[in-house]
Structure 1
Amino acid sequence: MNIVILDTTEERPARTWLLVALAGLFSSFLLSAPRVIAATADLMDTTRCDGKSGDAVATAEVESRLRWSSLIDANDMRVLTIKGTVELHGIAHSETQKTLADRLASDTYGVVGVNNQLDVVDWAPITDIGRAHLKSRAAERQVDQVKSDPWITGSVKSMLASSRGIGRCDIDVKTLAGVVSLRGMVASSAARDLAVEFTTNTLGVRLVEADELVVH
C-alpha cells in the first residue's frame, strides 16, 4: 500500500494572503463603522426636534435667543446665516457679551458654524450727549427686564427647544410671578445644567425651580 503525502507548501502563501486580506477588510469595516455612526449623529444633531430647518429658521432662532438673554444687549447685533454658518455683525458691549453671543449661536439647531464679527465697544462715553445716550439705553434695558409670565413661559420654551445641547422639545415650563418651574427629562446632567442656565438668563426670570427636571 503506497501512502502519498501531498506537499502543500506552495498553497500556504496563497492561504496566508487570503487570511490577511480578509482580516484587513474586517478591520477596515470596524474602523469605518464609528465614523459612519458619528456622521449620522452629527446630521441628526442639526435637525430640530420640531422638524423646522433652513437658514431663515436658524437666523430667526439666533436673533430671538440673543434678544431674550438678560446678559446681552442685542440691539446693535445683526445675524446672517449662509448654508448653516451664522455670521454675527455689529457691536457687543463687552467681551463677555461677544463670547455669549457666539455660544448661543453655536448651540442653536441648524447652525454648523459661527463667524463672529462682533466689534467690542466697551469704553465709557466722554461727552454729555454720549453719557445721556448711555443712560437712556440703560433705562430702556431696565424696563425690558420686566416681562409678563406668559411672555417668559413662551420665551423659555422656545429657548430650550432651539438648543442643540439640551435636545428636547417637550420640557414643561410654567411661570408664576417671574419664578419659572421646569419639568421633564433630559439625557444628561450637562443638558440639565444648560436648561437651568438658559432659563435663568432669560429676560424677566427671577428664579428657576428645576427639581422636577431629571436626568433619564
Structure 2
Amino acid sequence: MLTFKPFGLALATTALLHATAYAAPAPQQAARDEGAIWMAMALNKRLSPYALGVEVQGEQVVLTGKVENQQDKDLAQQIAEAVGHQPQVSNQLQIDPALGDQPPSRQALAQQVDDATLTATVRAKLSWNTSTHGSAIKVSTDAGVVTLTGRAKTADAKLLAGTLASNTDGVTVVNNLISLSAADTRTTQAEVAAKTTDESVSDAWITSKVKASFLYDRNLDALTIDVQTREGVVSLGGEVASSEQKTQAVQVVRTLRGVRGVDADLLKVALASAG
C-alpha cells in the first residue's frame, strides 16, 4: 500500500489515462495513479488551494483532506473517477466552510504551471505579430505578473508587446521594461515592413494564429467568431457582444504576420436583449 504525499512523487507527471477494465494494480501502477490523480486536482483552479491526499487501496482510490463545500468534494471525486484505473472512489473529504474565509491561494506547482503557460503564450503571440516578430524581447512570469525585458525594434513594437501581454487571459499585471534606442525609432519601421513583405506565410498558418489569438484574448470569445483566409486576406464572421469587441478583433488580426487585409463585414454585433 502506497501513500501519496504532495510534491514527493516523481511519477506525478504521468499521462492521465482512462481505464477500460479493472485489474489489481501493481505497486508501480498504483503510484502512477496516485500521482496522476493528485496532479489533476493540484492543477485544477478550484481544488488547488486545498491540501488533499490520494491513496490507492486495492480496487479503490481514497481521497482525504478538507474542502470548502459539497461542489468541490464532488469535483474531486469526478476527477479521481476520470483519471484513475480503480472502479471505486472512497471520497473521505471533509467539508469545512471556514476554508472560504481564507484568502485565495494556489499550490506552488499549480502556480508554476500557470506562469509557464502564460510565458509561453505571450512569447507565441509576440512571434506571430509583424512588429514584434524577431525582436529580442524576453518574457518572464511570476504569480500572473508578466515582465517584458530586452529590446524592441520600434516604439510601436514596445507598445504592442505590452498590449499583447496585458490582453492575455490570466495575466494580472504587465511590467513593460523593454528598452528602445533612438536609432531603432528612426530606421526600423521601414525594415520591419520590408521584412514582412518578403515573408511567405500560408493562409492556413494565418487562420490558425488568428483563432489562437482570439482564444488567448481575455476580451474575445473565440467560439463565436468564424475565420477564413484567402491570399492573406482574413474574413471574419459570426457574432461578438459589442462594437468594441469587433474593433478589437480586427485590430488583433491586422497585427499578425502575413495578413494583407481584414474583411469584417460578416462579423455582427449581437443585439441587446429587450427589457
TM tier relative to shorter chain: 0.5 to 0.7
Within the alignment, does 1:160 sit opposite 2:175 as a pair? no
Share of identical aligned residues, percent?
A: 39
Deviation at 1:170, TM superposition (A): 3.7
Q: Which has the larger radius of gyration?
A: 1
Give the one of 224, 231, 242 matched to 1:188.
242
Which residue in the other structure is 1:147 paired with?
A: 201
Secondary structure, aligned partner of 1:105: helix
Counterpart-to-counterpart distance in 2, 1:136 and 1:190: 31
Give the conservation status (yes or no) of the 8 Å contact 1:73–1:92.
no
Counterpart-to-counterpart distance in 2, 1:60 and 1:113: 16
Change (3 A) 1:122 1:147: farther
**Residues 67-146 of structure 1 correspond to what in structure 2 (within 5 A)?**
67-123=127-183, 141-144=196-199, 146=200
Report the residue type matching 1:62 in the other structure. Answer: V
Structure with the largest fraction of helix: 1
Over the aligned positions, Cα root-mean-square deviation in angstroms equals 2.7
Counterpart-to-counterpart distance in 2, 1:98 and 1:137: 14
Counterpart-to-counterpart distance in 1, 2:198 and 2:221: 32
Counterpart-to-counterpart distance in 1, 2:224 and 2:119: 22
Change (3 A) 1:168 1:148: closer
Give the conservation status (yes or no) of the 8 Å contact 1:168–1:186.
no
Secondary structure, aligned partner of 1:119: coil
Secondary structure, aligned partner of 1:114: strand
Which residue in the other structure is 2:117 paired with?
A: 57
Runs of 4+ in 1 over 4 A off after TM superposition: 135-142
Change (3 A) 1:67 1:140: same
Report the residue type matching 1:188 in the other structure. Answer: S
Unaligned runs of 5+ in 1: 1-52, 125-130
TM-score normalised by length of structure 1:
0.65
Give the conservation status (yes or no) of the 8 Å contact 2:196–2:257.
no
Which residue in the other structure is 1:50 paired with?
A: none
Deviation at 1:163, TM superposition (A): 0.9
Counterpart-to-counterpart distance in 1, 2:223 and 2:116: 20
Deviation at 1:156, TM superposition (A): 0.7
Deviations 1:119-161 (A, max 9, x none): 112416xxxxxx9xxx9988655433x2111111111111111
Which residue in the other structure is 1:49 paired with?
A: none
Deviations 1:153-176 (A, max 9, x none): 111111111111223334211111
**Which structure is richer in relative contact order (CA contacts within 8 A, separation 6 or more)?**
1
Matched positions, count: 157
Deviations 1:37-81 (A, max 9, x none): xxxxxxxxxxxxxxxx81122112111111111122443011111
Secondary structure, aligned partner of 2:135: helix
Counterpart-to-counterpart distance in 1, 2:133 and 2:181: 12
Deviations 1:2-54 (A, max 9, x none): xxxxxxxxxxxxxxxxxxxxxxxxxxxxxxxxxxxxxxxxxxxxxxxxxxx81
Deviation at 1:179, TM superposition (A): 1.1
Which residue in the other structure is 1:200 paired with?
A: 254
Secondary structure, aligned partner of 1:93: coil
Counterpart-to-counterpart distance in 2, 1:184 and 1:169: 9
Deviation at 1:108, TM superposition (A): 0.5
